[in-house]
Amino acid sequence: MVRELTHYVGGKHVKGESGRFSDVFNPCTGEVQARLPLAGKAEIDTVISNAAQAQLAWGATNPQRRARILLKFVDLVNEHMDELAELLSSEHGKTFPDAKGDIQRGIEVVEFCAAAPHLLKGEFSDSVGTGIDVHSLRQPLGVVAGITPFNFPAMIPLWKAGPALAAGNAFILKPSERDPSVPLRLAELLTEAGLPDGVFNVLNGDKEAVDGLLEDPRVKAIGFVGSTPIAQSIYASAAAHGKRAQCFGGAKNHMIIMPDADLDMAADALIGSGYGSAGERCMAISVAVPVGKETADALVAKLQERIKDLKVGASMDPTADFGPVVAASAKERIENYIQAGVDEGASLLVDGRGQTVEGYENGFWCGPSLFDNVTTSMSIYKEEIFGPVLCVARAADYEEALSLPNDHEFGNGVAIFTRDGDAARDFASRVQVGMVGINVPIPVPIAYYTFGGWKASGFGDLNQHGADAFRFYTKTKTVTTRWPSGIRQGASFVMPEGS
Ligand code: NAD
């Protein structure tokens, strides 16, 4: 019997009513482990009404009290860390320690949001004219929604919900259909932490649920993370419906390896960032750009050596370096790209197709693949593969290496490995990418900075988490005040006389 999952509305689990479902798989076994209700019109309306009602009191609650509930939630997540990580692995396929990292990077943003009383402070100017002062307020938007991808089912929902809730909004999460159980469990923990019913809701569904949220005027903002075509269309639709939106998309992250880099350090970094989580990270490095033939030959040899030692295995196997990919369709897409790379003339040095894992014969396995001599016209270079496939695109010199990420459609993350401070400074200044690592392969900014890609990796003008998130989830009201001279001068201390 497969479990039937629910929505989470008004502080409790609610059965699906639309009659439409999608399957939730265990990627290690390939089996269906649950079925997920996909929301229809009536359910979308109910969740928005609930959230709108609950937001009134929540928005009026003082920010320090709101922050205390979020801190209690962080404690509960920590208490339940192992249980949450196992649940996450069972639907996503990433290894247990990697699942813990997913949750940890999420609650770090919630911890940052405990500073809401400070982050929500307005500005004040005294005496802008005679007797006139000006101050500004940051007020919640009302009901806001987050639409999130499969690859970080704890972190990304928390990046969105933490600041939105701290700022006094009610939040509707539409998580990925592939791994919705951790979001549902987080909803229970928020209730247990004391969050009033209806302030955080989980609406499970597909395009119909997303369109319903986009079209309803009671939803004031949309935060999206996922693939670029969907990000772009949701951004346009949100604007057409008068909503603010921040929509983050796909990536093709390059790592430039200069001739003076520590090549062992660079090779280790490439293995971890290229193959970790089966390459299903938006900040994964998918293109290595060694500068000069000597660097390239030495680097490729080191990568080949290290790939031999990689272990693909079940999520709960403590010796596994990475697990399966999320779905049979993902495995097929990745294998099609590998074939396209071969057909287009790249050198396939390690072929991860045909990977099996004993005892898990029906899992969605992709072994590590390595391409050399990849050029900018190939589909494996231009498009996001989102799997354990690393491409080596050789560059003759630094300028050519720099031009690769600069000319690429995507601009999420990038890294340079070098011992030369001048090259590193020049790179950080000139590269057209939102997040830059210097001898750091996956430069995901910490909670109190902001996260966001450039070009086709992000649509909207504000980033996720950090101070930007509080700007996104609040509207500014500016108040100009004049008090006419009053009682101070006009007060009479003499008994009025009758006229
Ligand atoms: P996806 O675009 O398939 O799905 C993301 C969300 O959009 C899901 O909730 C899904 O239900 C919904 N959705 C899918 N199709 C839709 C449609 N036609 N209309 C409305 N909603 C729709 O992405 P995914 O496969 O879950 O995630 C992987 C992608 O996310 C990769 O491209 C990855 O680079 C990207 N990603 C980006 C970032 C970032 O910060 N830039 C972070 C993580 C993942």
Under DSSP, is residue 169 helix (H, G, I), strand (E, B) or coil? coil
Nearest-CA residue for atom 40 of ligand 1? 248
Query: CB neighbours (10 Å) of residue 409?
Result: 15
Please tell me which residue, 321 or 493, carries the higher pLDDT value.
321
Distance 248 CA to ligand 1 centre (A): 9
Give the containing element (helix H, strand E) for 305.
helix 293-308
Query: CB neighbours (10 Å) of residue 11?
Result: 18
Which sign, positive or negative, has the C-alpha torsion 242, 246, 251, 256? positive
Task: Quote the pLDDT of residue 475.
Answer: 98
Average pLDDT rounded to a whole number, residues 129-152 = 97
Task: Quote the pLDDT of residue 494.
Answer: 75
Place of tokens 């005679």: 130
Task: Quote the pLDDT of residue 53.
Answer: 98
Residues 401 and 180: their CA atoms lie apart, in Å, by 40
Name the residue type at position 90. S
Task: Quote the pLDDT of residue 483.
Answer: 87
Alpha carbons within 13 angstroms on the beta-carbon side of residue 202 total 34
Residues 6+ apart with CB under 8 A from 166: 63, 66, 67, 70, 113, 114, 116, 119, 470
Residue-averaged pLDDT of the chain = 97
Least confident of 94-98, 148-152, 495-499: 495-499
Q: Strand 170-174 to strand 3-4: parallel, antiparallel, or no bridges (unpaired)?
A: unpaired
3-249+457-479, CATH topology level: Aldehyde Dehydrogenase; Chain A, domain 1 (3.40.605)
Distance 6 CA to ligand 1 centre (A): 21
CATH number, domain 253-438, options 3.40.630.40, 2.40.50.140, 3.40.309.10, 3.10.20.30: 3.40.309.10
- Asked if pLDDT for residue 499 goes beyond 60, the answer is no
- Asked if pLDDT for residue 399 goes beyond 60, the answer is yes
Q: Is 248 in the pocket of ligand 1 (CB under 6 A)?
A: yes
Residues 15 and 123: their CA atoms lie apart, in Å, by 46
Question: Any idea which residues carry the catalytic annotation?
Answer: 282
pLDDT tens digits for 15-40? 999 999 999 999 999 999 999 999 99
Q: Which two tokens stand for residue 302?
A: 């080191």
Under DSSP, is residue 313 helix (H, G, I), strand (E, B) or coil? coil
Average pLDDT rounded to a whole number, residues 136-141 = 98
Task: Quote the pLDDT of residue 485.
Answer: 74
Distance 200 CA to ligand 1 centre (A): 21
Distance 463 CA to ligand 1 centre (A): 17
Whole-complex ipTM = 0.99
Q: Which of 150, 414, 455 to mutate to test the pocket of ligand 1 (most atoms within 8 A of CB)?
A: 150
- Provide, rounded to the nearest whole percent, the portion of the chain with pLDDT above 90: 96
Under DSSP, is residue 94 helix (H, G, I), strand (E, B) or coil? coil
Distance 224 CA to ligand 1 centre (A): 8
Do the Cβ atoms of 285 and 268 come closer than 8 Å?
no
Residues 6+ apart with CB under 8 A from 348: 338, 341, 342, 369, 370, 371
Place of tokens 């959230």: 51
**1: confidence class by pLDDT, cuts 50, 70, 90:** confident
Work out which ligand 1 atom sits closest to the CA atom of 205. 11
Average pLDDT rounded to a whole number, residues 442-457 = 97
pLDDT tens digits for 168-210? 999 999 999 999 999 999 999 999 999 999 999 999 999 999 9
Task: Quote the pLDDT of residue 295.
Answer: 98
Do the Cβ atoms of 199 and 55 come closer than 8 Å?
yes
Do the Cβ atoms of 281 and 250 come closer than 8 Å?
no
**495: confidence class by pLDDT, cuts 50, 70, 90:** confident
Task: Quote the pLDDT of residue 487.
Answer: 64
Query: Quick one: how many helices (H) and strands (E) in the chain?
Result: 17, 23
Do the Cβ atoms of 286 and 384 come closer than 8 Å?
yes
pTM of the complete model: 0.96
Task: Quote the pLDDT of residue 498.
Answer: 55
Task: Give the chain's end-to-end CA distance (angstroms, integer).
Answer: 92
Q: Which two tokens stand for residue 142?
A: 């009302």
Q: What is residue 8's DSSP assignment?
A: E
Q: Is 176 in the pocket of ligand 1 (CB under 6 A)?
A: yes
pLDDT tens digits for 290-347? 999 999 999 999 999 999 999 999 999 999 999 999 999 999 999 999 999 999 999 9
Q: Which of 155, 172, 176, 454 to mutate to test the pocket of ligand 1 (most atoms within 8 A of CB)?
A: 176
Task: Quote the pLDDT of residue 486.
Answer: 67
- Asked if pLDDT for residue 72 goes beyond 60, the answer is yes
Distance 326 CA to ligand 1 centre (A): 13
- Asked if pLDDT for residue 497 goes beyond 80, the answer is no
Task: Quote the pLDDT of residue 484.
Answer: 82
Q: Is 384 in the pocket of ligand 1 (CB under 6 A)?
A: yes
User: Cα torsion at 417, 421, 427, 430 (round to 10°)?
Assistant: 170
Query: CB neighbours (10 Å) of residue 422?
Result: 8
Q: Which two tokens stand for residue 308?
A: 């031999």
Name the residue type at position 381. Y
pLDDT tens digits for 201-260? 999 999 999 999 999 999 999 999 999 999 999 999 999 999 999 999 999 999 999 999
Work out which ligand 1 atom sits closest to the CA atom of 176. 9
- Asked if pLDDT for residue 491 goes beyond 70, the answer is no
Q: Which of 156, 159, 208, 210 to mutate to test the pocket of ligand 1 (most atoms within 8 A of CB)?
A: 210
Q: Is 226 in the pocket of ligand 1 (CB under 6 A)?
A: yes
Q: Is 409 in the pocket of ligand 1 (CB under 6 A)?
A: no
Domain ranges of the chain: 3-249+457-479, 253-438
